[in-house]
Chain A
Amino acid sequence: MSRYTAATESDRSEMLRAIGVGSIEELFADIPAHLRLSAPLALDAGKSELEVFGELKALAARNTSAEDELSFLGAGMYDHYVPALVDSIISRSEFLTPYTPYQPEVSQGGLQAMFEYQTAICELTGLPVSNASVYEGPSAVAAAGYVAKLANPARTRFVVSRGVHPHSREALATLAHGWGMEVVDAPLHDGVTDLPELDEQVSAVIVQQPNFLGAIEDLEALARAAHDVGALCVAACDPLPLSVLRAPGECGVDLAVGEGQTLGNRLDFGGPSFGFFAATEALIRRVPGRIAGETVDVEGKRGFVLTLQTREQHIRREKATSNICTAQALNALAGVIYLSWLGRHGIVELTELMLQRTAYACERLGAIDGVHLLHHQPVVREFALTLDASVPAVIDRCAQQGVNPGYALGRDYPEYQNGLLVAITEKRTRADIDRLADVLEAAVAAERSRDTHHVGAHR
């Protein structure tokens, strides 16, 4: 009897008798004999719960998590504090274990939570329509591209800022290839998007807010440029900064999407998290994924249902707005709980705290010998430096001191070979920033002196 099943020998005999066969083997008669495995799968035998726990714990111990080092690593996912009430609520069986709400009468909890989540996303983005979540940030950008493609099938090009997360640009390119569409880069100039001349072949202009280098973009100007040629404007946004920045919807953005991990979700080595997806009213029937809608029951009582399902794969099939089926309901639930916990003023206070500390960090780090701000644009919670030394080598030295100073930009941006992206969350205190400054200063100095010595040795 395998773990979690309860079919005893006597159960099995009774059941086989009721079916009218002599053995379980006979139930697989439709499978050609030579396809049936005669030996067990080459997997280890099953282990007890205690042993499995031990193994998973040992694997965990070989990871340096945000608990084990002082981390300033961001670049799309951030080490925020997740309040205890999120964990306790989402671990409830009633939220954790049901399926997608196909029977709304017994799924009002999940559906109402989706409705409340959608309302929150609409508030943050300033757009009137939100779905109940998509997988995560980069695939949300690709999905927005698909909306643009279906809305304007004749157009053949996406213009994407290099300020958009490299993973988002890649995901879009992967899908756009199948649509026969071109993806053209818009470069960054002094840290913000420098749009090329647009024309009527452009389906959508895609930017990020704040952008990958942490800089705040002028969404209004970018959206206007897109609309001037009849293209859509897509903005991939970091949700917490939206509490202080002018809402994308107000700036004329048509689709505001993004990575939701910072809202009540763990790092989890990259997933699961959720992607949010918001749109203008005009695009409501083109929005992918599940949407919860308000209605009434036969007694006039308010209730919620999945609505506009005819757009979706299970009804519309090949004409669907996307193929998405399972989304990220539990993670979006964590998101709305978190946003309720922060509340209207809390989210602003949290973001302003990060803003002030980021300003402090820019000043302290920018003052280090051999360290410079990569750009001077306004930032919110992440910023970019250039180092007069090899960034990977500096990162290694910092790691030896238990500090993770950030992300090496050179990996994705040949134009910023010595770039380092530094992220601040509410967990990084002034003392932490001061420590980073000390460790970074020492690491940069050590690397520069090593370089000098090398040069000297080669003379």
Chain B
Amino acid sequence: MSDPSYPEDLLYHPEHDWARVDGDQAIFGITWFAQDSLGEVVFFDPPKVGTTVTKDAAYTEIESVKAVSDVISPLSGEIVEVNDALGDSPETINEDPYGEGWLVKVKLTDPSEQEALLDAAAYAATLS
């Protein structure tokens, strides 16, 4: 994806991660800014289903040609599904960070945590 994009329907964490919340479930991924900074992603090994994730803590890594970056969890919960397709095509994270480049699906332990996250405009403001 060549131009910056921050969909309105997502919530954002200042460490460049997004969450799509639906009741007590959420999908996580990294933002356009994060994939642009990383450069071409070459490897992603998803965490195991069942792993606990904690808001603001690192829960996995993404490896690009030039860096390995921690991925921060925007909310707390338990991983119920991971995007295995990224094993063969990690570059999807660059091409479609909000769609096919999703990382994990999580069952939230405390949906109210989302109040601490930023909306698209507020997140974009942190980048300038």
Contacts and interface: CB of A to CB of B under 8 A. Distances in A.
Do A and B touch, yes or no (CB under 8 Å, in the complex)?
Answer: yes
Interface of A: 285, 309-310, 315-316, 319
Contacts of A310: 42, 63-68
B43 A285 contact: yes
Nearest to B61: A319
Contacts of A315: 66-68
Nearest to A320: B68
B59 to A, nearest CB: 15
B6 to A, nearest CB: 27
14 contacts: A285-B43, A309-B65, A310-B42, A310-B63, A310-B64, A310-B65, A310-B66, A310-B67, A310-B68, A315-B66, A315-B67, A315-B68, A316-B68, A319-B68
B113 to A, nearest CB: 27
The secondary structure that dominates the A interface is helix
A282 to B, nearest CB: 11
Interface string B53-80: 0000000000111111000000000000
B120 to A, nearest CB: 30
A310 B65 CA distance: 7
Contacts of A319: 68
Nearest to A305: B65
A203 to B, nearest CB: 20
B82 to A, nearest CB: 18
The 5 tightest CB contacts between A and B, nearest first, are: A310-B68, A310-B63, A316-B68, A315-B67, A310-B67
Nearest to B68: A310
Given A310-B65, A315-B66, A315-B67, 11 more contacts: A285-B43, A309-B65, A310-B42, A310-B63, A310-B64, A310-B66, A310-B67, A310-B68, A315-B68, A316-B68, A319-B68
Contacts of B42: 310
A312 to B, nearest CB: 10
Interface string B25-55: 0000000000000000011000000000000
A310 B68 CA distance: 6
A319 B67 CA distance: 11
Nearest to B63: A310
B39 to A, nearest CB: 11
A316 B63 CA distance: 10
A144 B66 CA distance: 25
A309 B63 CA distance: 10
B121 to A, nearest CB: 33
Contacts of B65: 309-310
A116 B40 CA distance: 27
A309 B68 CA distance: 10
A316 B68 CA distance: 6
A105 to B, nearest CB: 16
A315 B63 CA distance: 11
A287 to B, nearest CB: 14
Contacts of A309: 65
A316 B43 CA distance: 14
A157 B66 CA distance: 34
Contacts of B67: 310, 315
A309 B43 CA distance: 12
Contacts of B64: 310
B5 to A, nearest CB: 26
Interface in B7-22: none
Nearest to B69: A310
Nearest to B43: A285
B41 to A, nearest CB: 11
Contacts of B68: 310, 315-316, 319
A306 B58 CA distance: 28
A315 B39 CA distance: 14
Contacts of B43: 285
Contacts of B66: 310, 315
A375 B66 CA distance: 53
Nearest to B70: A319
A316 B65 CA distance: 11
A315 B38 CA distance: 12
Contacts of B63: 310
A154 to B, nearest CB: 14
Contacts of A285: 43
A403 B64 CA distance: 58
B116 to A, nearest CB: 28
A290 to B, nearest CB: 15
A332 to B, nearest CB: 24
A307 to B, nearest CB: 9
